[in-house]
Structure 1
Amino acid sequence: MSSESISADPESEARNLLVIAPPGCGKTELLARRAEFLISKLQPGQRILALTFSNKAKANLNERLVGVLGAERKRKFVAVHNFHGHAAEVIRSHGRVLGIPTDVEMPDKRTQDNTIDPYLEGLLVRTKGTRCGP
C-alpha cells in the first residue's frame, strides 16, 4: 500500500463497504483483509463472491487472497470472478429459468471493447487527480 493508503476498517460490522480510490491506495489489500475477517462470520456452506471489472484485477485479487488466506482457504471460501465471467456462469447455469438458452453466445472482445471502454474512459477522466488520504 502507498503511504497515502485508505483507512477503511476491514473488520467493520457494516454489511457493505464502498471504497472509491485511485490505483495504489490499498483497495485490493482491504478486500483481502475484509475476506479474511468475513470468513469467520460465514455459516456452513456459505462462500464469499468477489467481483472485479477486469481479468487483470481478478488475477491481482486472487494473488492477494492467496497471500492473506493461503491457497486452500482461498479455494474453500472465496470465489473471484470478473462481471462478464460471472454473468456467463449464471446464464449457463440458470438461463433456462429466464428463457435464455444455456448455449447462448456471449459477446466477443470487440463488442465488449466498443461498449465498455468508452464508459471506463469517462470514469478515469472523472477520477483523474484524485488523491488518497487526507
Structure 2
Amino acid sequence: MVDMELPPEDLTREVADFVRGHLTDLDLSERMIADNLGVSTAQLRDLAAATQFDLDRWIVAERLRLAHDALARQTVGWDPEQSRRWGFGNPSLFIEEFTTAYGISPSDWQQIASAEHPPDRPHHERP
C-alpha cells in the first residue's frame, strides 16, 4: 500500500507501475488502482487533474502499444478475441481504438508486420 502523503510525482509513478503490471487485467479500473494503492478514487482524479493526465486514455494507449507489439511478432492470422489478452473486453472497441491510433486495422498490421519479419528472421536481424 502507498503512503497517502506521497508527493504527486511519486504517486504518479506508483500508479504507472501498478497499471503496467495489470494492463492485461480486464478488471483494471480507477477503483482497482485506488484500492490497491491505498488511496481514494477522488485522490486519483485530483492527481489526474493536477497533472493534466487522462488515466483512462493512458491505459488504452498502453494496451494498444502492447497489442501492436504482440501483433508484429505474431506469425499466424489474428482473431478479434485475442484483444482480451491485451485487456480489451470488447473486440469491436479494440479494433476501432487500434485503427484510430495506428491508421491501420489490427489484421492489416499483423499481415504487414509478419511479411516484414518472417518467422525465420528475428526482428533485430533486418536486412
Q: Is the TM-score greater than 0.5? A: no
Higher helix share: 2
TM-score (norm 1): 0.33
Q: RCO greater where, 1 or 2, for CA within 8 Å and sep 6 or more? A: 1
Higher strand share: 1
